[in-house]
Chain A
Amino acid sequence: MRNLTSPFSTLFMLAISVLMISPLSGQNGDPDPDHPAEGLMRGERLFYGLIDGKFGSNACAECHNTMEADTFNWNPSAWEIAHKYKTRSIGEFREAVLNPTGRTMSAMHGTFGLNESDVTMIKLYLDVFEEEGMIKKKPVINKIFLFLLLGAVLTWIVLDIFFLKRVKRRYILGILFLAALGWQVKLLYEAGTALGRQEGYEPDQPVKFSHAVHVAGNGIDCRYCHTTVEHSKSAGIPGVQVCWNCHAIVREGTHSGRHQIQMVVEAREGGRPIEWIRVHNLQDHVFFSHAQHVKVAGIDCASCHGAIEKMDRVRQVSDLSMGWCINCHRDTEVQAFDQAFYAVYEATHKKLKNGEIDRVTADMTGGTECSRCHY
């Protein structure tokens, strides 16, 4: 089902992004200070490594994120652990922390000097943490601050021109006015065009699947998993049965230990598909075909998706804007122009033969027509 954002709502959002004001809500993640349980406080301190002598090199929080991070972390986040053990017994948790089974985990956890009551207190803290969720990142307000500052400057200039009249050289005011206004317009433009785009989007996935490990490390071809990329619009996100081809045997990863692969096992056994977060998200009124680009035009995956083979966590490298599409269609030579289908473009073939043009680009066969992608 395809829905369309009306021009009005787009304008509205534009206006809003200009005017306002950022997400300022957020929580600090600290447990309730009035909580009576002494153990809870100690559990938290242990988790953050604030009690000396218990850890060799790293405290829990140093490997297990408590905050949404910009960088990729192989280890399960504090919330993931908390969530997993929420309903399980303290015995299981203790076993997992003190006597881990996997290689990676034993190497790290082996250095801990935790006793059983320490682990119980950590679990106490984690139960609370599970309810409160990951600590939210502080919103970035630089741009809005800058925008407001420029607004203040503009106000001051106007006031000065009409009332205060402190600045003698009026042309300075003029230049300042234009510069501030121009800067504001630039900010507005940037914010406006960024609406609905998400270049650099790099969300945490439910399973820390690493393209770097699978593609660069193990040399698996893209098409091994994205099977429909050559004959359908959609490249296809592999189902768990594709993972299972290898992970029926491979149960422990070099970087992630057992935890991540265990999720794949659980998905298969529980019959629940993994709910990935969509990274490349075209608007609903754009109809894009992978088959056309990959199979027919022979475009390399990396042209749009970047160096996926180096990414542990997939990041959107192109802005996927219409301008970006169109520019490519104008510049890219149609490699397949000698194929049977393209024989229909007789006039273009003639021009090519006569030397009127030296190459055929996608726009010459209608690659920039509206109805190629919008219908």
Chain B
Amino acid sequence: MEKHWRSIEEFHGGKDPGPETEAGQEHRNAVLDLLDSRAVDSPATRRDFLKLFGFSIATATVVSSCEKPVQKAIPYLIRPEEVTPGQASYYASTFYDGSEYCSVLVKVRDGRPIKIEGNHRSPVSHGGTSARVQASVLNLYDEARYRDPMISREPVSWEETDRLVREKLSSGRRTVLVTPTVISPSTREAIGLFLKAYPGAEWIQYDETPASGIREAHRILFGRSLIPGFHFDTADYILSLDADFLGTWLAPVEFTRDYASTREVSSTRPRMSRHVQVESGFSVTGTSADIRLPVTPRESQLMLAAIYNRVADATGYPSLLAPPPVHDVEAMTAGLLEHRGRSLVVSGSNDPDVQVLVGGLNYMLGNYGQTLDLDRCIMLKQGDDAKFVDFVASLENGEVDNLVLVNVNPLYSLGGFDALGKAGFTVYAGTAMNETAEACRVVCPDHHYLEAWGDAEPVTASYSLQQPCIRPIFNTRAFQDSLLAWAGETQSYGDLLRSWWKENLAPSAPEGFEAWWKHTLQQGYLEKEPGHPVLEYTPPRVALEPAESGLSLILYQPVSLNDGRYANNPWLQELPDPVSKVCWDNYLAVSPADAEEKGLRDEMVVTLDGIAVPVLVQPGQARGTVSLALGYGRTRAGKVGDHLGINGFRWITRRNGHRCYVNDRIRMEATGETYPLARTQTHHTMEGRPIVRETTLEEYRKDPCAGNHFHVETEAHHQTLYPGVKFDGFHWGLVVDLNKCTGCNNCIVACTAENNVATVGKEEVRNRRIMHWIRIDRYYSGEPGNPQVLHQPVICQHCDNAPCENVCPVSATMHSNEGLNQVAYARCIGTKYCINNCPYRVRRFNWFKYVKNDRFDFNQNSDLSRLALNPDVTVRERGVIEKCSFCVQRIQEKKMEAKLENRALTDGEVQPACVQSCPAGALVFGNLNDEGSEVSRLKKQERNYHLLEELHTLPSVGYLTRVRNSPPGSPGNHEEQNEHNG
């Protein structure tokens, strides 16, 4: 068995001290202080006791004389037809935040959206969501939202605002409109009308994290600025150079789905794609790779050039001048050449020189038209960096009179945008407070996407509609309506949207439009046949000569906050990084070798160009590089997100005019100080038992039980004196395919939203009191320099022989006749025996009241943000245990539906929140009693095993072993070590 370790200290055989241990120690000391002799010597006397006694009697008298509060039942005056009290409605809509797209279903309960689900019919996102999409519902009820239009921070009316804006816009010489990438065709139309009304006005699209390098590269190669469509599902060999395509790069939800479909392994389909990840920091994509190479950005570029030349030689294209690579690229070249037309090379770099090589490589391999699609292009990230640079220069020269900013935050995300003050008149239109908005003269609050009409074209000729799911909460107006109002148009944006669809997309018969429109709106998307442009290929003529560098700083978008736009979202702040498991802060990831050399340890503070940042020793970080997450260090995000971590955007550099996430000119110095980081990692120790099982594809082909012989062994030993438990009807179970799970964290936020899970804050996370019902355990194996990573989502295992159940003194937790391990909160008295007896550590104790408590001033402390709570799930009180319930409320809901329709419940109908929106489809839920159900089928696979099954807990949750497609001798193939250890 491969040795798995969770931190460097553990690898070296020591006990993991961990920041949490210290924190825990402090806490224990505090508790012990209360019990020590001081308490005996305390000045409390008999008289104090009597006073207290008297006081409590008096309180009791007052309280008991209170009458039972009268509750009111206020019905609608006129009930809207589509609203049924006590029942949720689902509306198909579109999530697009300026950087990420997702087709969604919005669950609306009694008129308020409470949950985002994936739209399974969508041909783009296929029913998956990301953690950001799941958390976006909380932004609707964000207190940092603007409530009224404002001029110079004074709330005014819309009329007054419009009067001032129109007056200024018509008098100024140069007007510039800055928006994020607009993928909405009707919004383009509205912007067109605005630009027409103010001749000379310019429109610039600005991406906080651009991808202009790919567009530029395709302009060079094919004469057209575009991002091709990526088909990871048809790729058998994937080479990714620093592209975090399963985390944040371009369209992670779509990519995850496609990618995971190539990782489905069964005895009838014993094959999978091979994924090679070459990167500097440890991304969530890197954790899924079969082969991962930690290299510096320079080495990565050299490798790319070398592979390019070798492939060029083999395919008869001209090769380029390039220095020799540091690493061996023969295997990769061979792999790519072997899979011509079935391979895919992607790069996360924004340097057009790199992207040109990537494009050329794909072209030579014949991937265009196969795994790369030039007909259906990705329409995201249309921002043009070079154009924006010119604009900033003219802004600095005072040449811009009127500046209209829509939902962008360049003051935060672009070093040196302070020139904003030099614009004569600034208008900001956006949903919530941010640094840029606070610096603008006029603020025009925009609807949240759940309140507004809209559409999107995320991929060429693939359209999707967005509809309002709630009446605007505040005095807001869609920014398109603002633009139309300033352009002097009388039509609303909603009308414009409809007429645009009618003219451009609706089938020709005009009398049928209404029915067609309703149908399209209901399904949320529309597919059209894309054009088929014939593009001429021009071989690249660049020569890569990456400069030597000392220490490289890699700036990356974290899975939680992306580029900082979600900084005020407590769900995302508390979401641990998939690899480091740190939340509530960013930190500098340093490789173990560098750390040893420089004497750095976790939580030590270093200065980066004079700015203090805590260090985290990250196994797998490339030597000579350090990584820092973007998105932190916000100063005007709101009560949750302000002043957490440091802003990494200041280190963004430029290459060929394009913003670049690598900075080679940094100075790092140790300070001798320390700073506590909150990590969820060592909360849930499993004491090194064989809990994550893995094998290689090669082994699996020989023996489907490979890596899982222990399961067969334990099954044989499962003997008991007691009769087996039989469930009549339903026996709910879940299977997690560890080979498909990428560790993207979507399920954690989905569960949090569905089950009213409390946010506890950094201090409580350090005290190991995080409340998440589902956690993703991450285990390292191999050498710290380049370890393999295994993710394992762990929820309540709903054991049929549950250790927690028989220790509860009040029978608050017991087994249901459907195999659920249920908790009756009202019965729980908080002895915590069950936590102590649960081998999986999945039970959570409410140490505090997390609702309406100023100490936990997150999303459950204001009337506004409590609107996001799910009314179908009890909000737990202080002093009770909670844990995963398999979303029993959703089971009950679906059973009810089936009963009312007088039919049997179908397989796959019931889906807990984590299963519903898993972009990888790694989780499958269903009835184990039903032989034909998907979950039963998976459970019968040889790969299936149970967590700590030797304890005879008989869990209802199964795991399928991780299979790596690593060639022999590579770090991912442990054949030799296995033999050695076995």
A: which residues have CB within 8 A of B?
1-8, 13, 15-17, 19-25, 198, 203, 228, 230-234, 236-241, 267-268, 271-278, 281, 283-285, 287, 289, 291-292, 295-296, 336, 339-341, 343-348, 365-366, 369-372, 374-375
Chain A neighbourhood of B851, CB < 8 A:
3
Extra 15 A-B pairs, beta carbons < 8 Å, given A22-B65, A238-B79: A4-B825, A6-B877, A6-B878, A19-B60, A20-B65, A198-B68, A273-B77, A278-B70, A341-B905, A344-B927, A366-B729, A366-B817, A366-B818, A371-B822, A374-B874
B822 near A233 with CB under 8 A, answer no
Q: Is B84 an interface residue (CB 8 A)?
A: yes
Known A-B contacts A6-B880, A16-B60; the reply to A347 vs B728 at CB < 8 A is yes
Known A-B contacts A232-B84, A341-B895; the reply to A23 vs B77 at CB < 8 A is no
**What 9 pairs between A and B have smallest CB-CB spacing?**
A234-B86, A233-B86, A371-B822, A347-B728, A237-B75, A16-B64, A278-B73, A278-B71, A6-B877
16 CB < 8 A contacts A-B? A4-B826, A4-B874, A228-B86, A232-B85, A233-B87, A275-B74, A276-B73, A276-B74, A278-B72, A289-B892, A347-B726, A347-B728, A369-B816, A369-B817, A375-B888, A375-B889
Q: Is B204 an interface residue (CB 8 A)?
A: no
Chain A neighbourhood of B75, CB < 8 A:
236-240, 273-274, 276
Given the complex of chains A and B, what is the CA–CA distance between A374 and B866 in angstroms?
21
B72 near A285 with CB under 8 A, answer no
SS class, residues of chain B in contact with chain A = loop
Interface centre among B64, B71, B72, B76 (most CB of A within 10 A): B64
A371 near B885 with CB under 8 A, answer yes
Quote the shortest CB–CB distance from B97 to chain A (angstroms).
Answer: 27
A296 near B826 with CB under 8 A, answer no
Chain B neighbourhood of A281, CB < 8 A:
71
B899 near A296 with CB under 8 A, answer yes
Given the complex of chains A and B, what is the CA–CA distance between A295 and B902 in angstroms?
11
Residue of A nearest to B75 (CB): A237
A277 near B879 with CB under 8 A, answer no
A2 near B76 with CB under 8 A, answer no
Quote the shortest CB–CB distance from A232 to chain B (angstroms).
Answer: 4
Known A-B contacts A21-B61, A232-B86; the reply to A295 vs B900 at CB < 8 A is yes
Contact of A369 among B822, B828, B877 (CB under 8 A): B822
Q: Is B829 an interface residue (CB 8 A)?
A: yes
Given the complex of chains A and B, what is the CA–CA distance between A244 and B827 in angstroms?
45
Residue of B nearest to A343 (CB): B904
Quote the shortest CB–CB distance from A370 to chain B (angstroms).
Answer: 4
Contact of A16 among B63, B877, B879, B905 (CB under 8 A): B63
Given the complex of chains A and B, what is the CA–CA distance between A23 and B826 in angstroms?
28
Residue of B nearest to A267 (CB): B77
B854-874 interface mask toward A, CB cutoff 8 Å, 1 = contact, 0 = none?
Answer: 000000000000100101111
Known A-B contacts A234-B86, A292-B896, A341-B904; the reply to A203 vs B79 at CB < 8 A is no
Given the complex of chains A and B, what is the CA–CA distance between A337 and B974 in angstroms?
55
B61 near A7 with CB under 8 A, answer no
Chain A neighbourhood of B927, CB < 8 A:
344
Q: Is B693 an interface residue (CB 8 A)?
A: no
Chain B neighbourhood of A369, CB < 8 A:
816-818, 822
A344 near B905 with CB under 8 A, answer yes
Contact of A272 among B77, B871, B876, B892 (CB under 8 A): B77
How many residues belonging to B are interface residues under a CB distance threshold of 8 Å? Answer: 68
Quote the shortest CB–CB distance from B512 to chain A (angstroms).
Answer: 31
Quote the shortest CB–CB distance from A244 to chain B (angstroms).
Answer: 9
A292 near B899 with CB under 8 A, answer yes
Given the complex of chains A and B, what is the CA–CA distance between A340 and B900 in angstroms?
10
B892 near A3 with CB under 8 A, answer no
Residue of A nearest to B71 (CB): A278
Quote the shortest CB–CB distance from A25 to chain B (angstroms).
Answer: 7
Chain A neighbourhood of B869, CB < 8 A:
1
Chain A neighbourhood of B269, CB < 8 A:
none
Chain B neighbourhood of A370, CB < 8 A:
814, 816, 822-824, 827
Q: Is B903 an interface residue (CB 8 A)?
A: yes
Given the complex of chains A and B, what is the CA–CA distance between A44 and B822 in angstroms?
62
Q: Is B807 an interface residue (CB 8 A)?
A: no
Given the complex of chains A and B, what is the CA–CA distance between A340 and B898 in angstroms?
9
Interface centre among A24, A343, A344, A370 (most CB of B within 10 A): A370
Given the complex of chains A and B, what is the CA–CA distance between A245 and B72 in angstroms?
24
Residue of B nearest to A347 (CB): B728
Quote the shortest CB–CB distance from A272 to chain B (angstroms).
Answer: 7
Contact of B76 among A4, A5, A273, A289 (CB under 8 A): A273
Given the complex of chains A and B, what is the CA–CA distance between A186 and B885 in angstroms?
38
B826 near A374 with CB under 8 A, answer yes
Given the complex of chains A and B, what is the CA–CA distance between A234 and B621 in angstroms?
55
Quote the shortest CB–CB distance from B68 to chain A (angstroms).
Answer: 7
Chain A neighbourhood of B818, CB < 8 A:
366, 369
A240 near B77 with CB under 8 A, answer yes
Residue of A nearest to B820 (CB): A371
Contact of B877 among A5, A228, A233, A273 (CB under 8 A): A5
Given the complex of chains A and B, what is the CA–CA distance between A274 and B76 in angstroms?
9
Interface centre among B74, B872, B905 (most CB of A within 10 A): B74
Residue of A nearest to B903 (CB): A340
Known A-B contacts A228-B86, A371-B816; the reply to A285 vs B895 at CB < 8 A is no
Given the complex of chains A and B, what is the CA–CA distance between A239 and B77 in angstroms?
5
Known A-B contacts A19-B57, A371-B822; the reply to A4 vs B903 at CB < 8 A is no
Chain A neighbourhood of B825, CB < 8 A:
4, 285, 374
Known A-B contacts A366-B818, A372-B892; the reply to A7 vs B68 at CB < 8 A is no
Chain A neighbourhood of B687, CB < 8 A:
none
Residue of B nearest to A322 (CB): B826
Given the complex of chains A and B, what is the CA–CA distance between A370 and B905 in angstroms?
21
Given the complex of chains A and B, what is the CA–CA distance between A88 and B873 in angstroms?
48
Chain A neighbourhood of B896, CB < 8 A:
289, 291-292, 296
Residue of A nearest to B895 (CB): A341
Q: Is B730 an interface residue (CB 8 A)?
A: yes
Chain A neighbourhood of B902, CB < 8 A:
339-341
A7 near B875 with CB under 8 A, answer no
Q: Is B67 an interface residue (CB 8 A)?
A: yes
A21 near B77 with CB under 8 A, answer no
Given the complex of chains A and B, what is the CA–CA distance between A58 and B73 in angstroms?
35
Known A-B contacts A344-B730, A345-B728; the reply to A3 vs B875 at CB < 8 A is yes
Quote the shortest CB–CB distance from B957 to chain A (angstroms).
Answer: 17
Given the complex of chains A and B, what is the CA–CA distance between A370 and B895 in angstroms?
16
Known A-B contacts A339-B902, A347-B728, A375-B885; the reply to A287 vs B892 at CB < 8 A is yes
Residue of A nearest to B68 (CB): A198
Within 8 A of A (CB), among B700-740: 726, 728-730
Residue of A nearest to B810 (CB): A7
B79 near A239 with CB under 8 A, answer yes
Q: Is B534 an interface residue (CB 8 A)?
A: no
Within 8 A of A (CB), among B901-929: 902-905, 927, 929
Q: Is B30 an interface residue (CB 8 A)?
A: no
Chain B neighbourhood of A296, CB < 8 A:
896, 899-900
Quote the shortest CB–CB distance from B618 to chain A (angstroms).
Answer: 40
A4 near B875 with CB under 8 A, answer yes
Given the complex of chains A and B, what is the CA–CA distance between A272 and B892 in angstroms?
35
Contact of B879 among A6, A234, A283, A366 (CB under 8 A): A6
Contact of B873 among A2, A15, A341, A345 (CB under 8 A): A2
Known A-B contacts A239-B75, A344-B729; the reply to A4 vs B873 at CB < 8 A is no
Q: Is B44 an interface residue (CB 8 A)?
A: no
B57 near A234 with CB under 8 A, answer no
Given the complex of chains A and B, what is the CA–CA distance between A345 and B727 in angstroms?
9
B880 near A4 with CB under 8 A, answer yes
Chain A neighbourhood of B726, CB < 8 A:
347
Given the complex of chains A and B, what is the CA–CA distance between A13 and B68 in angstroms?
12
Quote the shortest CB–CB distance from A289 to chain B (angstroms).
Answer: 6
A241 near B904 with CB under 8 A, answer no
Chain A neighbourhood of B866, CB < 8 A:
1
Q: Is B78 an interface residue (CB 8 A)?
A: yes
Chain B neighbourhood of A374, CB < 8 A:
822, 824-826, 874
Contact of B899 among A16, A238, A271, A341 (CB under 8 A): A341
